[in-house]
Amino acid sequence: MFVLDPTYNADKKRALDMLRKIRRTCPETFFYFEARAEFIDAEIARAFASINCSVQFGLQSSDPVVLKNVNRSFNKNQFKKNVSLLNEQGVVFGFDLIYGLPGDSLAGFKKSIDFALELYPNNLELFCLSVLPGTKLFEDAKSFGLVWQDFPPYHVLNSPSFPSGDLNKAEKLSRAVNLFYTEGRAVPWFNSVLGLLREKPSAFFEGFSAFLEIRQELMDLAEGLSFLQIEALQKEFIFLRLKSRGLQKYTALVGDIISLNGALSRCQGEGEECTLELSWHPDDLMSQYASDIPFFYANCGREKNRTRVFPTANGPDWAVL
């Protein structure tokens, strides 16, 4: 079920009544909500956590000046605080970003990606700006210097701050983010790996985009790759990144973290069982200590094992064979 009016939670009582009714009357139905982050508080976050749902926020940009050009206000600190409430409750959520907004640039778009991914969204959807006829943006577009398609989907083609070449780069960057992060379900381990690499998300994904371009056949097939094929690409690219920085000693550990989280995700989403060959105990790999990869590597001993991941009535579980 899709709830696409993002302002329904502006009235807190109405929103809570609706979420409680969903919990009582249709607990098995999955709901997809669009929502406004400024209306999230601890009580709303708990209510979302009590039902089967995901929540999507139209962030669009992390630059208040850019958002002001499209009549949106943005308080970065408040946004981070409210989203953290969802993380605390284990709510599945994601963000939308748009490239090509008036006054934005490729550098600004990268900053928005960096801001978004530091908040641990489960997905990040990235879109090119569409200048839709009949909208306020359409009326103002020429004053912003926008050039756009005169046919659907009316994508912006050029602007003073976001020339066509940079829009092409943003499109490639967006494809890389979608494949690696969203389709690759990388949220459980992504920021830990970037912390090890000491790299910003946007720089990492620029590298991944270049990596994909070398393998043009993968770019052509990107939308048809299986989860395991994407996971193999994730590992290949990360292992190359580790080697280039002299961090190859962490390769096996990072591989275990990706493999176990991937297996749990497939078990949760598709009910898939599998057996993994691991170099560390799964209980250790799923502990909070594994989020600090250098600390974990230095303090947790190896324990080669075969681990079975399987579904249960209470969700995915694992057992060492």
The per-residue pLDDT of the chain, averaged, comes to: 95
Q: For residue 234, is it within any domain? A: yes
36-70 pLDDT, tens digit each = 999 999 999 999 999 999 999 999 999 999 999 99
Domain boundaries, position 236: 184-321
pTM tops 0.85: yes
Q: What local confidence, expressed as pLDDT, does residue 223 receive?
A: 67
Q: For residue 253, is it within any domain? A: yes
13-30 pLDDT, tens digit each = 998 999 999 999 998 999
* pLDDT bracket for residue 137 (50, 70, 90): very high
Burial 297-315 (b: 16+ CB within 10 A, else e): beebeeeeeebebeeeeee
Q: For residue 239, is it within any domain? A: yes
Domain count, the chain: 1
Q: Are 161 and 86 in contact (CB under 8 A)?
A: no
Q: For residue 312, is it within any domain? A: yes
Q: For residue 264, is it within any domain? A: yes
Q: For residue 70, is it within any domain? A: no
Q: What local confidence, expressed as pLDDT, does residue 214 receive?
A: 84
Percent of residues, the chain, with pLDDT higher than 90? 89
118: which 2 tokens? 């530091």
67-124 pLDDT, tens digit each = 999 999 999 999 999 999 999 999 999 999 999 999 999 999 999 999 999 999 999 9
265-295 pLDDT, tens digit each = 999 999 999 999 999 999 999 999 999 999 9
Q: What local confidence, expressed as pLDDT, does residue 16 receive?
A: 93
List Cβ neighbours of 103 (8 Å cut-off, separation of 6 or more).
63, 65, 66, 69, 144, 161
Q: For residue 317, is it within any domain? A: yes
The DSSP bridge partners found for residue 94 are 56, 123
Q: For residue 117, is it within any domain? A: no
| pLDDT above 90 (res 10) | no
